[in-house]
Structure 1
Amino acid sequence: MSEGVEAFPLGERITYLQQAVPRPDGKSYTWKEIAESTGIGRAYLHALRSGERTEPSLQVAGKLAEHFGVSVDFLATHDHEWARDYACQMDLVTKMGHADVVGIAARAQNLSQSNLQLVRQLVDQLAPSPES
């Protein structure tokens, strides 16, 4: 981990997602709902959140990532700086008032520059900015 980068362990990332990615009605998912949606046992989910377990299988990380609409890399990485940057990007999108865009923004992070340009062009066509 880089000097000066505060740790962002897996348990904190899972808790962050539970608070930052709302249900369609705008409320936070309960831990029971997350467990049921992902098929991950509540006890194991609690162990991940508490830091008692820190290395979930890729399958478990994938189920959580799919539930929250984020990249599995956010949950699987050991690069705390990258994970914090990812969370900051999600926060920015949420603060812009478009929580439903978080999943799109999260997946877009993995696109090539040329594909990002295509996405920008499509968004500009579908929702032109007021300056256009």
Structure 2
Amino acid sequence: MSDLPTELKYASSHEWARLEDGVVTVGITDHAQEALGDVVYVELPEVGDQINAQDEAGVVESVKAASDIYAPVSGEVIAINEDLEDAPETINGDAYGDGWFFKIRISDETELENLMASDDYQLQIEGEEA
């Protein structure tokens, strides 16, 4: 497992969130993509969708399983990573970079306080593996 980026926030459902100028970029963690295996398909929300924190916002499928993607915060979807349509395997190679899923204009930045810091997420992962 790779080191967790400390500037990100993490959901217990294995999504990460990066806040920049009122916009939260969302993806799945390296741990999640490793557990899934080779990603073969991603279903993303539509630009303009209003979503609430913890709502199902998409699906990621691998050769092993399908898994729901949940919104870590509430707001409007303002961008999706269209590159994943043709190259979903990007998630396996760069979960925290080019493998991002969608961007949300956050409606309430205090929702980020409900997410975990990297140290807490690491403890969750270790607890799952124990």
TM-score normalized by the length of structure 1: 0.31
- Greater share of strand: 2
Computing the radius of gyration over CA atoms, which structure comes out larger, 1 or 2? 1
TM-score normalized by the length of structure 2: 0.31
- Greater share of helix: 1
